[in-house]
Amino acid sequence: MTSNTDLLNWIDEITRLCTPDSVHWCDGSEEEYQLLLDRMVASGAAVRLNQQLRPGCYLFRSHPSDVARVEDRTFIASPTREEAGPTNNWRDPEELRATMLALYRGCMKGRKMYVIPFVMGPIGSEFSLFGVELTDSPYVAVNMRLMTRMGTKALDALGDGDFVRCLHSVGAPLDQGQADVSWPCAPMEHKYIAHFPQDNAIWSYGSGYGGNALLGKKCLALRIASVQARKEGWLAEHMLILGLTDPKGRKAYFTAAFPSACGKTNLAMLVPKLPGWKVETLGDDIAWLRKGRDGRLRAVNPESGFFGVAPGTSYKSNPNAMHSIERDTLFTNVALTDEGDVWWEGIGTPPPSHLIDWQGMDWTPESGRNAAHPNARFTVSAARCPAIAPEWEDPEGAPVSAILIGGRRPGVVPLVTESLSWQHGVFMGSVMGSEITAAAISDAIGQVRRDPFAMLPFIGYNVKDYLRHWLEVGKAFLPGQLPRIFSVNWFRKDAGGRFLWPGYGENARVLKWIFQRMLGEAEAIETPAGLLPAPGALDLEGLEGVDEEQVSQLLKVDIPEWRAEARSIRAYYDKLGEGMPSELKDELGALEQRLGDPVDQPSAP
């Protein structure tokens, strides 16, 4: 057990509040994991897949109302609205606490409460943070075993130290004799994912799904960690980490921030099409960045698993992910084949003639609906990935040479652009995003949804202070110690709407140019947008289906388009309100000057 009196007192307090039938301290063992899975299979909450086809694999189906993170029910309960900023849902902490305490009262009746001590980051690393999640969901318990360092080893490492208090309930108490359902959850209006940064606490109620319930992930590792990082001078970021080795054996580490649906996991596990180049995975979703003892920015992946989107994942798009999930994986909301295997849209094989869909109903290709939910997931230990880097759990972290940022832009933004400076790179990160190509409101189509460093839903405080913090972090390094910042855009299209760049393994050609730029071995030309590959600097040897005209379009900086982009950025900054860092406004002004855009000049009479 433990002698941590703060932990014991808190557990006693929550037990009296939530009134579970029993309390189970998770030890994180294989035996415990298997026992929980067996019990969920017996209760109908899980399906054991064909163990010949998918050894150690199980399928869960959520309630149709509980299939993704619910951003409109996610709150930052900081003391003032200004601390939360214009991009977060703010609630007064005392009012929200009172509302949720009423919901928590008796909420675990008829259920077991699981005590889950966990560590985000390698045990023993100064990067790492401790948390304890109290939950009435065995689904959460088994997922947390894959996604964090959980159980006795975490409890021992915690000792009498401080921890993030993570309270979670599915919000579905059971009366005596009442039958349970396979996926208990509360109605949408009673779902809350609340963060109390000043109390180092996360309270989640009503949802059993993903980032709403696995509180070590987005809640702790980004929203709460970002607040702590600001206080302590580091960065908690929504970034992958990869290692890139060239044919000469030289290795560099990159982090990359992409919004959803922009190929983040695919890049983290890339299989390069360039002979002699190798990518190794250190993390696919979150990076904590600190100044190391050597004076360089170093990155650690705080997670120990992958919680990846299944639809679209195939042996073509991400062979390493597919190999990772061949065994010992938890699947949520994918389709079930008659042979007891899994299937989803984009898996790379034709749909079978019959499936059981993610809602447990019969499905055929004529059904006219998706067999798997578009946000269906797999949970698997990072150690299962064939491309996992040997040093992925190095407590010192990996020295970062380049930071990549990118969104889904069919036009304007070139294939790859190097920033002119750290400050210019922060400016680029502040305005990155994806173009809205389909929306219920027609006038939104074509607009850019700005997503600073892909952190818009995950910053635990004011976005303007977050961007200022990025600038401040840069000031703590000597010249030459900071990573360079690059924008990438795999999604540029031609006039006919066809992608100009093949993507997937060919993205290694862009990584090669970035790698060589850092070594002074690749040329660049300066444009108003930043530094682009000089003619011939991008390795296109053997690349089929991409001609010189396409390359020209991929690397084009169209001045009228960029003038419109600058005006859009200025409108975005204005929308965020007062308090935007002056350095970023200066960068916008410098961009307008390079473009010769008379945006600030009075209109002609």
Sign of the CA dihedral with 129 first, then 108, 189, and 375 last: positive
Secondary structure of residue 51 in the 3-state scheme: coil
Spatial separation of the C-alpha atoms in residues 235 and 454, rounded to whole Å: 13
Residue 201 DSSP symbol: E
Give CB contacts under 8 A, 24+ apart, made by 35-41.
36/138, 36/141, 36/142, 37/142, 39/138, 40/138, 40/139, 40/142
Using the structure block, give the residue that is written with the tokens 């908690």: 236
Kindly list the catalytic residues: 262
* Cβ contact 257:454 at 8 Å: yes
To which residue do tokens 């055929």 refer? 364
- Cβ atoms of 213 and 185 within 8 Å: the answer is no
Contact criterion met (CB below 8 Å) for 105 and 17: yes
Number of neighbours of residue 464 by Cβ within 10 angstroms: 22
The pair of structure tokens assigned to 31 is 């035996």
Nearest residue to 111 via CA among 23, 32, 42: 23
Q: Which uninterrupted H or E stretch holds 532?
A: strand 530-533
Q: Give the integer Cα–Cα distance in Å for 211 and 35.
A: 24
Paired residues of 400 in beta bridges: 253
Nearest CA among 351, 348, 272, 277 for reference residue 310: 348
Instruction: State residue 20 phi and psi, 5-degree precision.
Output: -65, 160
